[in-house]
A and B are shown apart, each in its own frame.
Chain A
């Protein structure tokens, strides 16, 4: 049974493709998602480049304090929005893009704030000098907590953040060096050349300069090789790992990145308010930050600013109004926030930003230009006789033996099919070869090397690429980006070079390679559409293009022809033949016997986990045991 495409599943927090130059543009009007349709016929503003949008926003922020008549409290409030936006930006990346939820971000603010508070009061450091230390402390705390928690599945992570969020809050209020419950006061303000930045109007520039800078760096990061890997995370790790992405490492990177932004916000906060107590770093603050990210639209960089703005202003308004109505307003804003949060998840889970973004028309993005080809894999020095060999492979699940002493081999330049009735152990065999499941006993040799027990990332590195029986694409990312993910191991740009845009040549070559593979499988016209908008059969072909982008030696295809029409099957067969002619080996699982018989060199038949026959197609067609297994007895 084929599950419905992932795109129709309810999503935790709907992540439209993040607001980066590429992915926003990758949505053609026809598939631009709900908000667009809802706004059809309404106000449309002229097209806007994100770059220009940011420049306009920055100019407006710069002009704000200069406008006469803008009250100081408004500037202070906007400063608070900036401080919150930094934290929310980290959460957008963590939750909306990376699929991890944290209620504990406020604790990382605390690390930043307390570090600079102690250093600048007790030890007399300049606020500027404490920044690296503040970041180091928040970052180190994030590495420790992250190493412990990011490997956790789904909901255990947010629960973990809740627990250490509370724990650290109490710790802040307990330690003598942090002033216990009284906190630390008398923190020096920022100063430039002997001039103190005490006026909110001057410190405004520092705050928003950092917010806008962080937003730009984050945008760059998402629109890169590393960014694709991060965005692929939230749709499950298996696909990414099968193309060499170290999911745990990527998660840790995002986790630390978010913590650093929170630490930066805490550092600013300490020198802006000049007092630090435990209260703003508690779990309620952590919940508020998450609320901002959800309200703005998790996954949306500008959503962080919008969410921070709405929540901060609302909180301020409630704190003014509620006490007048009820006499005591201490916790009442929590009631309003709580109800809003519940309501938001019921009626507008995608948040506010997509609705704002829908005011501008989606822009078409050009197909990536040609770029120098990526380096190909060098042929192995001493070619073993067989490329891939299974030797007595056994996989037991408790008492059930899914794969029982299966041995077969795939030669160079050979197409081998693995067939058998449902439940015969074909997909399990695939998972044993690709390192998804571990062998109970037996061996898997690739180019003469034992690869049993190696993780999927390592196996991808060796040149084994695969597709999945249940399509594992990121439906919101474009076909191009999904395929580019396959070439992940052939690029080199890291986090820093991506943020600083030093990765453009590397990136252009990756995208050009993805484009070539898409053209090769005949999906050029769909290149810029979200992968989820394609028919299921086409999505399978996208997976093949992604596998080809790895530059594999061996291609493992799990039911590649399922859902394809006759013509498409013929095209696929032709493609596989041409790959074989170029020396590639293919192992495929397939139920379409016409497809298998006409294409393959060798067929291995499994039934109930045991190999019952193997040989050339003609011999298999007449093998009585095979007929027995398929038809339940020779007629």
Chain B
């Protein structure tokens, strides 16, 4: 392995690692606020990638129907809850606006945009707008009803959601893989290394997103509310933070980050409806290194995962996934040594 290959693999690893970092951070975010270990984060990435790639190809992405279906379901849940507690017209109207009118508007807009020859900028915006609401809808339907259940029950629910979303991905996007054109055709020559514009975009967006999340959590009131919910749900409610809203917000942010990651990797690799799972799980490996709590540690670990993956695909491509996922074993051992068992009183 000469230094050119070494540098190339390193760059490749960092590029993938940056995307895993975004995922890992979204996973930590959701866990911190809702205690949900959100296995389907990868599916949101795949949906983002597929939506963007299809828009770039001038086709109407199935996401419009998927989002509409989930919105309708979320409204049905709100309606049912409202019927059992007494109808609150204002609440219902708000729910209808967010769960029914929004997806309908998105459908109309996307219909206009698809195939109309707009550039990547518009397509990116439409993609983000289509995928982001899926987060709160999923939270409303699957997690809000059992928000106070144990981490384990929430985890099993998350696995159920993963199964459903992968299957729905097949229904709404079909089995064929897609790949989007590069976001930037630029190529930089740094010594022996060719750095693609796409990688630079990925680095920039990842850094921006991490910075924005940091600002949100440390500086903005909403972010502080989310943090408070993470520390103590009951306490947060007592001081007037609506934990349901916090949950929906966290899922929305995670879906946004997921869609963004999808747009970033769509030009790098061919995405199928079920590609997201493995990508998401690599974010998980990173999130676990960060003990599902630390954003910086997660980001660093994600880069390490990307680099290990790049090198193992060069050295033993067959065993790439085996190596990446076995990485978690020493991490878990290290975790169990440094973090003695805590009695979970739930």
Residues in B with CB closer than 8 Å to A346 are 145-146, 157
Instruction: Please state if B162 and A12 are interface contacts (CB–CB under 8 Å).
Output: no
Could you give, for residues 59-76 of chain B, a 1 whenever the CB lies within 8 Å of some chain A CB and a 0 otherwise? 000000000000000000
User: Shortest CB–CB separation between residue B76 and chain A, in angstroms?
Assistant: 13
B152 lies within 8 A of A163 (CB): no
Q: When the two chains form their complex, are residues B159 and A287 in contact, meaning their CB atoms are under 8 A apart? A: yes
- B149 contacts chain A at the CB level, 8 A cutoff: yes
**Is B30 located at the chain interface by the 8 A CB criterion?**
no
Residue A109 interfacial (CB < 8 Å): no
CA distance A345 to B148 in the complex (A): 12
Q: A332 CA to B170 CA in the complex, in Å?
A: 8
- Check A335–B345 contact: CB distance below 8 A: no
**Given A158-B152, A349-B149, 9 other A-B residues pairs in contact with their CB atoms under 8 A:** A151-B341, A160-B332, A166-B278, A236-B343, A330-B175, A332-B171, A334-B164, A339-B160, A339-B164
Give Cα A170–Cα B274 distance, bound, in whole angstroms: 16
Closest to A346 in B: B145
Q: Specify the chain B residue showing the minimal Cβ separation from A176.
A: B318
Q: Does A616 contact B (CB under 8 A)?
A: no
* Known contacts A170-B321, A290-B156; A155 and B166 CB within 8 A of each other: no
Q: Is B112 an interface residue (CB 8 A)?
A: no
CB within 8 Å of A: which B166-196 residues = 166-168, 170-171, 175
The 5 tightest CB contacts between A and B, nearest first, are A338-B164, A341-B160, A338-B163, A335-B167, A12-B152
Residues of the B chain whose Cβ atoms lie less than 8 Å from the Cβ of A166: 278, 281, 321, 325
Instruction: Say which residue of B37, B156, B325 sits within 8 Å of A294 (CB atoms).
Output: B156
> How far apart sit A181 and B148, CA to CA, in the bound complex (Å)?
43
Does B319 contact A174, Cβ atoms closer than 8 Å?
yes
Q: Which residue on chain A has the smallest CB distance to residue B73?
A: A339
* B150 in contact with A170 (CB, 8 Å): no
Choice from B152, B167, B335 contacting A331 with Cβ under 8 Å: B167
Nearest-Cβ distance from residue B16 to partner chain A, whole angstroms: 17
Report how far A287 CA is from B156 CA in the complex, Å.
9
User: Is the Cβ of B157 less than 8 Å from the Cβ of A163?
Assistant: no
Does A11 interact with chain B (Cβ within 8 Å)?
yes
Query: Which residue of chain A has its CB nearest to the CB of B159?
Result: A287
Contact call B319/A156, Cβ cutoff below 8 A:
no
In the complex, the chain B residue whose C-beta lies closest to that of A166 is B325
Contact with A along B134-170 (1 / 0, CB 8 A): 0000000110011011111101110111111111101
**CB of B328 closer than 8 Å to a CB of A:** yes
Assembled-state Cα–Cα distance A168/B332 (Å): 17
Chain B residues with a Cβ under 8 A of chain A: 37, 39, 141-142, 145-146, 148-153, 155-157, 159-168, 170-171, 175, 274, 278, 281, 284-285, 288, 292, 318-319, 321-322, 324-326, 328-329, 332-333, 335-336, 339, 341-346
Q: How far is the CA of A238 from the CA of B153 in the complex (A)?
A: 22
**C-alpha spacing A423/B111, complex, angstroms:** 65
A179→B157 CA distance, assembly (Å): 35
Shortest CB distance B197–A (Å)? 33
Most B Cβ at <10 Å: residue of A6, A330, A338:
A338
- Contact check: which of B141, B145, B152 meets A155 at CB < 8 Å? B152
A-B contact pairs, 10 of them (CB 8 A): A10-B153, A151-B341, A156-B336, A163-B284, A163-B325, A171-B319, A332-B171, A335-B164, A336-B167, A338-B166
Chain A residues lying within 8 Å of B162, measured Cβ to Cβ, are 338
Chain A: minimal CB distance from B103 (Å): 19
Residues of A within 8 A of B159 (CB): 103, 287, 290, 341
Question: Please, which residues of chain B bring their CB within 8 A of the CB of A336?
Answer: 167
Tell me which of B155, B281, B292 contacts A158 (CB under 8 A): B155
Q: What residues on A are CB-neighbors of B342 within 8 Å?
A: 153
Residues on A with C-beta less than 8 A from B322 are 167-168, 170-171, 174
Alpha-carbon gap, A518 to B227, bound state (A): 47
* Contact flag A237-B281 (CB < 8 Å), given A164-B326, A337-B160: no
A residues engaging B (CB < 8 A)?
3, 6, 9-13, 101, 103, 145, 148-149, 151-156, 158-160, 162-164, 166-168, 170-171, 174, 236-238, 284, 287, 290-291, 294, 326, 328, 330-342, 345-346, 349
Question: A167's contact among B146, B155, B321, by CB below 8 Å, is which?
Answer: B321
A533 → chain B, closest Cβ, in Å? Answer: 20
B152 contacts across to A, CB distance below 8 A: 12-13, 101, 154-155, 158
Q: Tell me if B175 and A328 are in contact (CB < 8 A).
A: yes
Closest Cβ–Cβ distance, residue A100 to chain B (whole Å):
9
Query: Are A156 and B341 neighbours in the complex by a CB distance under 8 Å?
Result: no
Chain A residues near B336: list those with CB within 8 A.
Answer: 148-149, 151-153, 156
Q: Is the interface of B mostly helix, strand, loop or mixed?
A: helix
CA distance A109 to B149 in the complex (A): 31
Is the beta-carbon distance between B150 and A167 smaller than 8 angstroms? no
A174-B319, A342-B157, A342-B161 known; A332 vs B167 contact (CB < 8 Å): yes
Given A160-B328, A174-B318, A339-B164, A349:B343 Cβ within 8 A: no
- B281 touches which of A3, A162, A168 (Cβ 8 Å): A162
Contact, CB under 8 Å: B326 / A167: yes
Closest to B138 in A: A342
- How many Å lie between the Cα of A206 and that of B325 in the bound state? 36
B346: chain A residues at CB < 8 Å are 9-10, 12
Give bound CA distance, A160 to B160, whole Å: 18
Compute how far the CA of A523 lies from the CA of B151 in the bound complex, rounded to whole angstroms.
35
Q: Are B345 and A330 in contact (CB under 8 A)?
A: no
Chain B minimum-CB-distance residue to A339: B164
Q: How far is the CA of A164 from the CA of B284 in the complex (A)?
A: 13
A326 CA / B329 CA spacing, docked (Å):
41
Within 8 Å by CB of A335, from B168, B285, B318, lies B168
Q: Which residue of A lies closest to B284 (CB)?
A: A159
Contact A349 to B157, CB < 8 A, known contacts A160-B332, A170-B319: no
Min distance, Cβ A343 to any Cβ of chain B, angstroms: 8
Report A-chain residues with C-beta under 8 Å of the C-beta of B149: 10, 12, 345, 349
Distance in angstroms between the alpha carbons of A218 and B329 in the assembled complex: 30
Residues of B within 8 A of A284 (CB): 163
Contact B166 A331 (CB under 8 A): yes
Q: State whether A341 and B163 are in contact (beta carbons under 8 Å apart), knowing that A153-B339, A153-B342 are contacts in the complex.
A: yes
Give bound CA distance, A148 to B329, whole Å.
7
> Would B160 and A338 count as touching, CB distance under 8 A?
yes
Q: Which residues of B contact A237 (CB under 8 A)?
A: 341, 343
Complex Cα–Cα for A413 and B174 (A):
78
B34 to chain A, nearest CB (A): 13
* Alpha-carbon distance between A339 and B171 when the two chains are bound, in angstroms: 15
**Shortest beta-carbon distance from B286 to chain A in Å:** 12
- Out of A13, A174, A334, A349, name the residue touching B167 (CB < 8 Å): A334
Pick from B142, B150, B318: contact of A12, CB below 8 A.
B150
CA separation between A12 and B345, bound complex, in Å?
Answer: 11
Nearest opposing residue in chain A for B158, CB measure = A342
Interface contact B341-A159, CB-CB below 8 Å: no
A284 to B, closest residue via Cβ:
B163
List chain A residues, Cβ under 8 A from B157: 341-342, 345-346
